[in-house]
Amino acid sequence: MATKAPTAPLEEQTRSPLRKRTSTRTLAVLGTLVLLLTAIALSLAVGSRSLSLDTVVHALLHDDGSTASSVVWDVRMPRTLAGVAAGAALGVAGALIQALTRNPLADPGLLGINAGAATGVVLSLTALGLTSMWASVWFAMAGAVVAGLLAYSLASGGRGGATPERLALGGAVIAAVFTGVSQTLMLLDAQALDQLRFWSVGSLARADSGTLTTIMPFVVAGLVLALALVRPLNALALGDDAARALGAHLDRTRFLGLLAVTLLCGAATSAVGPLVFVGLAVPHMARMIAGADQRWTLPLSMLLAPALLLYADVLGRVVVRPDELDAGVVTAVIGAPLFIALVRHRRVVTA
């Protein structure tokens, strides 16, 4: 009589696919990190005057006051680091919005926060004549906070609190109002319109040595807060009733998530303008790679978004050399077909 081969314990059978998935996700994070580092290297080397990688490395290690060192340290390094910070902020903000609203087509503009931040920047220039990055950041943050609070207040009124549907509807109303206000202010001030027309498209060219110092505290605070919410966000994806059963505090999670989005979008918008498609498409890419677990979606979005933004910026420097295309134009051109391709993939439309 044949002896039945012993089977592995059930616990070991369960662990094996989990280990395999974790290894795949870890490799995906490492691959994305390499992609980002490559984008950083290209951003430092490519421009109206291209530099070899050897020259860039030498300039980074030995700031000898040469023209190459000046180009790397004074022009391209601030621009690159601002792209990394703003891209990470927009990518994580997009992933947060999609998780909070359970809407895979949501982006940071859905709650009106980008429109509020843009209105703050426009107001600081048109009403007060303030042009410094410091003023732009604080007014953008104030506009983002006002827009976020208004959207949350509209959504939380009545029975049921701030449901995903109410957040989306309230944000759409606030976005329309703030967009109309900012457009009116620019049309009434020709000088402001001239100064803001490139910023309103979205560009890294405006970034200088003070940009990163000014926005970084807000970006770091927003990223830390977002990463602290991964567990309740995973519970929220199961629905409100299931999330409550798992012990998640829905109102607190949504409020803190909205606060994180406000910090991230306010800082990014003040630095590079209201960029489109980055916060919308990148979370889909992250979920396609690693699934819907926010413990992986948020870190991947944090790496993929700045890589996409820097590659768009580098492409904009090359295609019409010696002039430049703003990064916002490039992300719109390449982002639309990329997003269409992503949403056609059935796996990535699940937030």
Is the pLDDT confidence value at 349 over 50? no
154 domain residue, yes or no? yes
Peptide bond into 108 cis (omega under 30): no
Its sign, for the CA torsion 285, 288, 290, 294, is: positive
pLDDT in tens, 192-232: 777 777 677 788 887 877 888 888 999 999 999 999 999 99
118 domain residue, yes or no? yes
5 domain residue, yes or no? no
329 domain residue, yes or no? yes
- Angstrom distance (rounded) from CA 136 to CA 65: 31
- Judged by phi (left if over 0) then psi (alpha if -120 to 50, else beta), residue 247 lies in left
10 domain residue, yes or no? no
Give the contacts of 85 (CB within 8 A, at least 6 positions apart): 212, 215, 216, 219, 267, 268, 271, 306
Angle, vertex CA 206, rays to CA 205 and CA 207, nearest 5: 95
- Angstrom distance (rounded) from CA 175 to CA 116: 7
Average pLDDT over the chain, rounded to whole? 82
242 domain residue, yes or no? yes
Alpha helices in the chain (DSSP H): 10-45, 53-61, 67-70, 77-101, 113-126, 133-156, 164-188, 190-196, 209-227, 230-236, 240-245, 250-272, 278-290, 294-319, 327-343
pLDDT in tens, 61-112: 887 778 888 888 988 999 999 999 999 999 999 999 888 888 777 777 777 8
pLDDT in tens, 117-136: 888 888 888 888 777 777 87
- Angstrom distance (rounded) from CA 79 to CA 315: 14
Tokens 């931040």 correspond to: 117
User: Using CB atoms within 10 A of its CB, is residue 209 exposed (0-12), middle (13-18) or buried (19+)?
Assistant: middle
Predicted confidence at residue 84, as pLDDT, reads 95
Half-sphere exposure of 111 (CA within 13 A, CB side): 43
Q: How many independent structural domains does the chain possess? A: 1
4 domain residue, yes or no? no
Give φ, ψ of 217 to 5 degrees: -60, -40
Predicted confidence at residue 339, as pLDDT, reads 67
Tokens 């200088």 correspond to: 208
Q: What is the largest CA-CA distance in the chain?
A: 94
- Angstrom distance (rounded) from CA 204 to CA 81: 10
Tokens 């027309």 correspond to: 197
Distances (CA, A) of 35 to 38, 251, 307, 312: 5, 37, 7, 13
The CATH number assigned to the domain holding 148 equals 1.10.3470.10
333 domain residue, yes or no? yes
Is the pLDDT confidence value at 143 over 70? yes
Domain that holds residue 193: 77-349
pLDDT in tens, 296-336: 999 999 999 999 999 999 999 988 877 888 888 888 887 77
Q: What pTM was computed for the model?
A: 0.85
Q: What is the residue-wise DSSP string for 26-57?
A: HHHHHHHHHHHHHHHHHHHH-SSS---HHHHH
